[in-house]
A and B are shown apart, each in its own frame.
Chain A
């Protein structure tokens, strides 16, 4: 039988899914063991057990000075920044995507501009954002917006333009105004795409968030990682990296679930 027609069974599939994770973990454990045997005070590859202990401490023990658990504070600070940046971008992109996709006048005015602006490397304007918006929360949120909004606008306006003309004309023959077409025809068909686009832009959003936090912040996951880098605290860094990965993965899962839950009609067409 051809390879393209051979499918793993249920059990094999589960084993195959787990395999790369186990291999990566095994490789790390062996590497760490070799280094620690050679030099017990080596900090580069802390033993998995050390990381587990550190993680437990970070998640449960309050900081001596502030008497707060730093990891939760960092998480809250980062998630608020990320949520604001992504949320504001999503709302703006939906509105602008609809306007660009539906109205030829707005399209003529903005499409070229957005295409050019989306070529600006966001990190290159980060210093400007710090100068203009200060070192507080605003500049971090704005960096995320600058980073992902142009992509979202381009993606969503393209989706609106893709809506078959027949459907728009049909709505016109039912007496729908431009506003009703936007609200009742274009927007509902755009929302599942919005969730997809947001899922795609979460990666860049985390990147910009951590970059901004690394440079100027008092709290946040990225701030903490870059702070403890000075003490070569690999166990803390790795705990944070795993935690960030987990958060990002959960967000993706939730968005996927939301998309299936809220828009059953997209499933029906499969």
Chain B
């Protein structure tokens, strides 16, 4: 059984269908990029994966378990905005990734010191150790998103959901965030779903690229139909699958 199974998902708001008949299975460790026109329901699909909403019809199962009823620790998330806590310092934001699951949401004494040390280690790894005592609002957009990803990973989720995480960043920062994300992924081997409006980014980072679009279009009523997955590309090797030389033995291969 596949790791994530979305079966026959329908989602409507009021009478307006947003998603219809969405079926997809994802293996553990896959990186799934999601692209599609603005407003077609990508974020909605991510909210369903997150269990922030329940679908009108159909179900999403992770690791064969019953469909989740609310967001929990097995799914981490980074939104385009508001993903870190503005009232906590950078270090405390990382510590929150561990402490929020406790009864009072904080550590004290030795546990606190240990968590702070681990947070400082994380901050060193994501290159934010020099701003550990600052508040997020003083950070650049790229640094805030790095912090948000670091915080999400501190809770050790099995799935990471990213909703246009780099959408507000300038191109240079974006590229360094790609490296950052690829490194992290190599380390953790996590399953990732990332919504992006940048096709190139989707193909560069993803193993698969899912395209959301409306399969039918009613010119008199554009809202009559919801979107579904219209393409499911293999995006390894930059989306050019047949260039890989599969047979080792009989084919001459330049060094």
Contact = CB atoms under 8 A, between A and B. Distances in A.
Interface of A: 164, 166-167, 169-177, 179-180, 183-185, 188-189, 263-265, 268-269
Interface string B84-98: 111110000000110
B77 interface: yes
Given A167-B83, A169-B52, 9 more contacts: A166-B79, A171-B85, A173-B50, A173-B157, A174-B151, A180-B100, A184-B106, A265-B87, A269-B137
22 contacts: A167-B82, A170-B77, A170-B79, A170-B82, A170-B85, A170-B152, A171-B96, A172-B71, A173-B50, A173-B75, A173-B157, A175-B72, A175-B73, A176-B101, A179-B105, A180-B104, A183-B104, A185-B85, A264-B135, A268-B134, A269-B135, A269-B137
B60 to A, nearest CB: 15
B155 interface: yes
A21 to B, nearest CB: 37
Contacts of B84: 170
What are the nearest 10 A-B pairs in CB distance? A175-B101, A180-B105, A269-B137, A172-B71, A176-B100, A166-B82, A184-B105, A164-B82, A174-B100, A175-B73
B61 interface: no
Nearest to A265: B135
A166 B152 CA distance: 13
- Choose among B75, B87, B148, B155 the residue with the greatest number of A CB atoms under 10 Å from its CB: B87
State the majority secondary structure of interface residues on B: loop
Interface in B144-179: 148, 151-152, 155, 157
- Choose among A169, A170, A176, A180 the residue with the greatest number of B CB atoms under 10 Å from its CB: A170
State the majority secondary structure of interface residues on A: helix
Nearest to A172: B71
A182 to B, nearest CB: 9
Interface size bracket, B side: 35 or more
- Choose among B81, B86, B148, B157 the residue with the greatest number of A CB atoms under 10 Å from its CB: B86
A170 B100 CA distance: 11
B81 A166 contact: yes
Contact of A268 (B52, B72, B102, B135): B135
Interface of B: 50, 52, 70-73, 75-77, 79, 81-88, 96-97, 100-106, 134-135, 137-138, 148, 151-152, 155, 157
B66 to A, nearest CB: 18
Nearest to B87: A188
A265 to B, nearest CB: 4
Contacts of B70: 172
- Choose among A183, A184, A189, A264 the residue with the greatest number of B CB atoms under 10 Å from its CB: A184
B86 A269 contact: yes
A189 B100 CA distance: 16
A195 B206 CA distance: 47
B98 to A, nearest CB: 8
B85 A167 contact: yes
Given A170-B83, A180-B105, A265-B137, A175 B77 contact: no
A175 B155 contact: yes
B73 A174 contact: yes
A169 B50 contact: yes
Contacts of A175: 72-73, 100-101, 155
Given A166-B79, A167-B82, A268-B138, A174 B101 contact: yes
